[in-house]
Structure 1
Amino acid sequence: MPTIPWLDIDKLDFPDVDNALDDPNGLLAVGGDLSRERILAAYRRGVFPWYEESQPILWWSPQPRAVLYPEQVYINRSLRKALRRDDYSVSFDTAFNDVLEGCAALSPKRPGTWITDDMRAAYQGLHQAGWAHSIEVWRNGKLIGGLYGLGIGRVFFGESMFSREANASKIALVHLCGQLHEWGYPLIDCQVGNDYLDSMGAQEINRDTFKQHLEQYTLAPGRSIGAWNMNWRYGHSTPAE
């Protein structure tokens, strides 16, 4: 049975992602901490933390990898109709903690969450340091959906999203794609694929291709570290439909 290495708390090194397990898919290492430096080092290598409250910190690099190329986001007819309404607004980095809470909220369909207190604190710290960003969708002054993730170089690493009204998280994702495309960001890491992401145009690529993307794009100059401002709006410059 393969042995999963425990990370040295004093070092930021990770095992080669090619050593990740096939079952469970992508499990690479255990332990370490959720310091800003470790999380950033992990993402640059294509590794992310994901674990439940009762578990130690688990680090993953699944094969294949789900990604979304911003210019290829798919907008179906019903979403196009929702996007054309003028009764909502979209913003960046104005309610990060509220988006985080929305993503972590429990429901009958989701009785558990991987966004533990430690994970919340870690990503709040990354937001305060200018690395983690939120996209918010508002209607009548109320937050109805959004998503959050990290921006490193010219890659956006998506973490989680939520909706309190139909299509709200999709509206957030379309605006994220539009803004990133305008800024010259070629890649959104979606980690693991699902039907929702597939419906938005995400695709799966092999680990070697993903590693090449990271080597090229995380080192490219992106937006300045700090809060992002939304200046893209659906209908003014629209990704492919």
Structure 2
Amino acid sequence: MNQLSADDLIYGYINGIFPMADADDTIYWYAPDPRAIIPIDTYSSPKSLRPVLNKRIFEVRINTDFRGVMTHCAAPRSDEEGTWISEDIIDAYTELHKMGFAHSIETYLNGELVGGLYGVAIGAAFFGESMFYTVSNASKVAFHYLIEVLRQQRFQLLDTQFINDNVRRFGAIEIPKADYMSRLRKAVSTKARFIEPDVEHLFLRQQS
């Protein structure tokens, strides 16, 4: 499969599957068992990150440059070969973003995009896709504000797909697929909105 639409993505997420592109840009669908999630209520920002947040080293924006975040995430990592984010995937998610389902949280330094993440929100479920940084702590700050948004809007599920060292540092755990599907059905049928919050309010909340 090489063609991917925004409707395909919505259908996939509500049924517990997600796409990734192979080296030849062929798109395959995945449904890992066990599934990795990050408990929203129990996440706590590392103590080492708090000075960065309090000093407001980075400017945080939401949905300002969605495609730019995806393009950065698609760049090959220094220790990896290739990428699973093809141009077809970028186009489909960008269309989903225009429909109001896909979102990005971005961090800027001196006006330059230096970190961020993107994912998909359906009901009270958020499906985290990828993150990047070019400056230390930039993606961690973006993730911190993602958690704050999800808590503020009472999201129930933060899906992170596969377990690895990167998501473990944010508190990711693995659960059986059957458990995941049960949580998924409940979350996508619950009304919630990924609304851009008052970032100033989030800064004050962090300092309190």
Q: CA separation in 1, counterparts of 2:26 and 2:57?
A: 44
Structure 2: how far apart are the matches of 1:207 and 1:41?
Answer: 18
Q: Name the CA distance, whole Å, in 1 between partners of 2:174 and 2:77.
A: 29
> Is contact 1:144-1:168 (8 Å) kept?
yes
Q: 1:76 aligns with which of 36, 40, 46?
A: 46
Query: Which residue in the other structure is 2:123 paired with?
Result: 153
**Counterpart-to-counterpart distance in 2, 1:75 and 1:34:** 36
Distance apart, 1:121 and its partner CA: 0.8
1:49 is matched with 19
Q: Distance in 2 between matches of 1:175 and 1:156?
A: 13
Structure 1 segment 1-241 matched on structure 2, within 5 A: 31=1, 33-54=3-24, 56-223=26-193, 228-232=195-199, 234-238=202-206
Distance 1:207 1:78 in 2: 34
CA contact (8 A) 2:38 2:160 kept: yes
Structure number with the bigger relative contact order (C-alpha 8 A, sep ≥ 6) is 2
Report if aligned partners of 1:178, 1:237 keep a CA contact under 8 Å in 2: no
TM superposition shift of 1:71: 2.1
Per-residue CA shift, 1:98-132, capped at 9, x if unaligned? 11111011243233111111111111111111111
SS of the equivalent of 2:205 reads: coil
Question: Deviation at 1:39?
Answer: 1.2
TM-score by length of 2: 0.92
Larger radius of gyration: 1
Q: Distance in 2 between matches of 1:35 and 1:97?
A: 16
Aligned residues: CA RMSD: 1.7
Please list every run of 5 or more consecutive structure 2 residues that lacks an aligned counterpart in the other structure: none
Q: Partner of 2:204: helix, strand, or coil?
A: coil
Identity of aligned residues (%): 36
Per-residue CA shift, 1:8-58, capped at 9, x if unaligned? xxxxxxxxxxxxxxxxxxxxxxx4841221211110011001122415321
For residues 178 and 68 of structure 1, what CA distance do their matches in structure 2 show?
13
Does the CA-based 8 Å contact 1:91-1:230 persist in structure 2? no
Aligned-partner Cα distance in 2 for 1:87–1:43 = 35
Give the Cα–Cα distance (whole angstroms) in 2 for the partners of residues 62 and 82 of structure 1: 35
The one-letter code sitting in structure 1 at the alignment partner of 2:129 is E
Is 1:93–1:134's contact at 8 Å kept on the other side of the alignment?
yes
Match of 1:100, as an amino acid?
M
For residues 85 and 52 of structure 1, what CA distance do their matches in structure 2 show? 41
Deviation at 1:160, TM superposition (A): 0.5
Structure 1 unaligned segments of length 5 or more: list them.
1-30
Question: What is the deviation of 1:156?
Answer: 0.6
- TM-score normalised by the chain length of structure 1: 0.80
- Alignment check: 8 A CA contact 1:104 1:113 kept: yes
- Paired with 2:2 and 2:135, the residues of 1 have a C-alpha distance of 38
1:191 maps to amino acid: Q
* In structure 1, C-alpha distance between the alignment counterparts of 2:80 and 2:2, rounded to whole Å: 27
